[in-house]
Structure 1
Amino acid sequence: MKMLLPWELLILLSLKDCLAERNIRHGPVFTQEPSDSVFPLNSEDNKVFINCKAKGNPTPHYRWKFNDQDIDIDMDSNYNLVEGNLLIKRPQASQHGGMYQCIASNAIGTIVSREAKVQFAFLQPFSSKPRNAVLVREGQAVVLLCSPPPHFGEIKYSWIFNGQPGFLVRDKRRFVSQRTGNLYIAKVEASDVGNYTCVVRNVMTNATVFSSPSTVVLRSDAVMGEYEPKIEVQFGENIHVAKGSSVKLECFALGNPVPSISWRRADGSPLPGKIKINHSNGVLEIPYFRPEDAGLYECIAENARGRNVARGQLIFDNVEHLHWAQTLRDAHMAIEASLQWECRANGNPRPSYKWLRNGELITTEDRVRVEEGRLFITNINVMDAGMYQCAAMNQHGVIYASAELKVVASPPDFSRNPVKKSTLIQQGGEAIMECRPHASPRASYSWRRGGDFLKNTKR
């Protein structure tokens, strides 16, 4: 017989292990779950995939829920199942935006995925209705409203003046808010007379729409005199900022003469060195926000007639995303045994818990007790077998830990520990004969000598 080389032997052993693993029955385990997503609606193929994949033996089959309702794949032509993934054809923001959840099942049990929020970026056209002319005196301030059409996704605002190529240049006198899209002119000059068009662009879809023109007309009855600054664009009084994110504060004032804008921290400490202030001083940006960046910030608008101050508190939002500190392991339990499972998650705010069996909520009753992240099952029977999940949740999301409970039920079997057929002892001595069958639930015992049952006595 040919001797196998070491590497050939390793290959054969690996193949043997793979085949053995394939033959072991086990419940579904997610290898890919759906995640929060924003999809552009103007994509060429007009299709959306939401991913879900699980392993298991037998091979899992899938179904999906949308806003906690089962999706009927056969009856709804907008949906298709591609392996475990959900395909949405011809999606509409109003009909298909919401919460999606994947459910994987096989003969062992069922598990549910995390819920994924699916949204669609879109930008509708402006109304074609003409806009009213704006009459203003020279030296007076003016605010032109953009009033953007319905949209979702990040939006960028610009303005066009008198149809000229290129966008209106923003400076200390003219400001475009990226929160509202409105155009602010601190002090109108004769050269400002003309038509203004708001331009809105969706960053994700790259769709761009144009408003009807707003006409600025100069009144000739009087000229506006000087007046102190009025801060028209302000940031919020309390702004919560997550660690590592970027925050932008907008501040712009109307006035004659044109006010200057400056920034400072109310406690007198220097502004963070990483801050960015745009050329008009109307926007202060703090990237990569850290706890030391928190505090009260002030925007100061000044001109020859006076000054005005806007204040806002930046609050470090110490959000800790949910993650497992203790998860679950599969359990093999005998009938009538007791099981205790515990899961523990870290997160801020502190999470609460719920338990699922085969995708259904578990409540305390009879043999089953739920205490936050602990699950107790006493006097286990074969009906308790299946897939269990612990879910930890707070206002920022939900995470799931999964495990399988196998309930072992077997008749007494002496193949592992057979009783000795003969035992040699001295006359007057003691004999010990072991009876240790493998059985679930635990077997009861009796002994016979010949045809008579033995009692637990000494002679």
Structure 2
Amino acid sequence: MCESLTYSWLYGSSTDRILSQNERKFISLDGTLFFSYVTSEDEDSYACSLSVYSTQSGHYGPFFRLISSTPKLFNSTFPPKLDSSQPQIFPEDPKLGDSIYLECFAYANPIPQYKWSRVDGKPLPSRSHTSNYGRVLKIEKVNYGDAGKYKCVATNSFGAAAGEVHVKLRAPPSILQGLHDRLIPTESNISFECLLSNADSYSSVEWFKDAKPIVPLLLPAEKRKRLRIDHNVLHLKSADETDSGVYQCVVSNDVGSSSSSALLTVKDSSPVFPPNAMPRKVFAALGSTVSIPCIFEASPRFHGKWADAGGSRLPQKGRIRDEEGIMSIEKVLHEDAGLFFCTAHNKLGKSHAQVQLIVVNKPSIKTNYLDEETVNMSCEVELTCENSEECPEALFEWRINDRPAKEYPSLKSKVHEKKSGHKGRHLKQKVDLEVPKSLASGQQIGRFACSSLYGGSSEVITKPQLPSPIALTVEQMEEDGKDKRKSFD
């Protein structure tokens, strides 16, 4: 069906008399004229008229006479029976984003009622509505969620008939993973892949470089040996600087196309540590594990090598080791603190970067019973920095009985920071938490855990124990000189 074409029917051998649709008469979008049942009044002359919207023109065919072959059956009653072409879909091969029409027509007397549903039990799309006495279901701007089988049921007092139509959607090809910019050294190999789904694997794929089609047969013999195209994958061997440029893949089918592009730079360069790529200082909690990658740019690229303050290279195994350019230290000790150096080199030169490892103790938790009703919890960490402004904020966080403190509205917390020493080099960060003993369940107030950027600590807090009552004995002398003893508990 083409949306620029519309059909109508003329009757009575006149081009001025246009047949109107009603519950009994139905004109399909493909132009077919249906009668639910035939009456004597339907025996007339008919002609199909076609209008072309784009050219504002129209045509109509010759008139023909409708004669009933069974006049005795006029107005006879019978249950619904779907036409062999029903239900059907327009357009027949819809694509994603189209508005589609599902038609359903049944011969029946009395005239049937129509009901649409999805076979999978899901509700009809919110963008759908019925028209033409329920015979047409329109779904606007279909998406993948609208695909599937739809069921039409025609019912009258003598029975019912049902049919199904399958909505399958076509769409432009989709590139699941596009191309990415690449920087490679000379003499290296590279592949660009436009990753496609299985449904798009048979789509047409074209490759371009700097907006010009790549046709291997038209390339110079030397370059043809180095470049190979396997449908959605482009392979390039022994790249040189002339291979630099913008590469693009264009995937097409009869619905549309998708594309992806990337810049390939073939260049040799000496190692460089980009600004702020490597931290100058790394704080590690005592007993924790720390990993520091050596981040640099170079072409060709090799792994950086780590060394300690004395210049000795770190081994590949052990508690302190170099794992292909990543320095790892397990169970950090105070004596691990100091400078470490990463050296990056290739055939064009080398470069260095240094990192200072600062080891701090894990936070400690202290408890202070303010009064009979309140317990004060404090979590603190002590740092030493050349400049206190360089000390990262601890970012304390409390958890009570494995639940965030914010879930306890009765708790009050406050963060403190205290500087001491020359130029404030010594810094103490602390967070206080006031805990009402009404939070207690039995004798135990709860398990408190404090976490921070420098590690964490936990402690179980109980109610303070009051001393047991003391039994007192009081002696009293009577007037008659005899002792009498009374006890008070």
TM bucket by the smaller chain?
Answer: 0.3 to 0.5
TM-score where L is the length of structure 1: 0.44
- Structure ranking higher on relative contact order (CA contacts 8 Å, 6+ apart): 1
